[in-house]
A = this chain, B = another copy of it.
Amino acid sequence: MHHVDVPTAKIWSLSRKYKLLPIHRVLLGHDGSMTNLLELISCCEVALRTIKQSVIPCPREVADLLAVDAGEPVNERDIIIVRSRDGSPLLYARSYTPLSRLKSAFKADLMRADIPIGKIMQRHRIEARREILDVGYLSNDRHLEKLLARPGPYLLRTYNIITQGKPLITVKEYFSASL
């Protein structure tokens, strides 16, 4: 018998407490590309709308997740994934990538800012693993209500994309449970 992950067990527990649907549990706990998943669920193409993208000194709490020194240059990216058809928001995400771990072709795509990470990885045939670090539930949040144009509750998750043994990107994603 194998062992069930801590995040999976936490998702089951959130699911019982808040009566989540199977699709919510999948959105919280899957370890594949989120863009791909959203295209499968919504049965249409999705696009990326960039809110903010800039190189900043790595904040302390992010440095711990990425295993880099605080202050090291990282690319911070705030995006919303929307349905291409009507522009309606599906997911809000903030990600951080240490510039020192970015190869130039990947970096150019990431800085172009309109391509989802999953698509960039696919294009460059990047081999990786995704490690779900935490999942959570928020009954309401004004900022998210504006960004996602939907009322709460919201579900969130934090995960790392790991290549060559090191975190390449740490991502925090939020979506409405009415998705």
| A contact residues, range | 35 or more
Bound CA span A15–B130, Å = 28
Report yes or no: A26 in contact with B39, Cβ–Cβ below 8 A: no
Complex interface: chain B residues within 8 A of A127 (CB):
127-129, 162-164
User: Copies of this chain, how many?
Assistant: 2
Chain B residue with the shortest CB-CB distance to A8:
B39
Which residues 53-102 of A have a CB within 8 angstroms of B? 84
Chain A interfacial positions (CB closer than 8 Å to B): 1-5, 8, 11-12, 15, 22-23, 25-26, 28-33, 36-37, 39-41, 43-45, 47, 84, 114-116, 119, 121-122, 125-130, 162-165
Q: Which residue of B lies closest to A29 (CB)?
A: B40
Q: Across the interface, which residues of B come within 8 angstroms of A40, CB to CB? A: 8, 11, 22, 25-26, 28-30
Contacts of A43 in B (CB 8 A): 12, 15, 22, 25
**Which 4 A-B residue pairs are closest in the complex by CB-CB distance?**
A32-B32, A31-B32, A25-B40, A127-B127
- Which residues on the B side are within 8 Å of A28 (C-beta)? 40
Residues of B within 8 A of A23 (CB): 22-23, 26
* Interface contact A25-B4, CB-CB below 8 Å: no
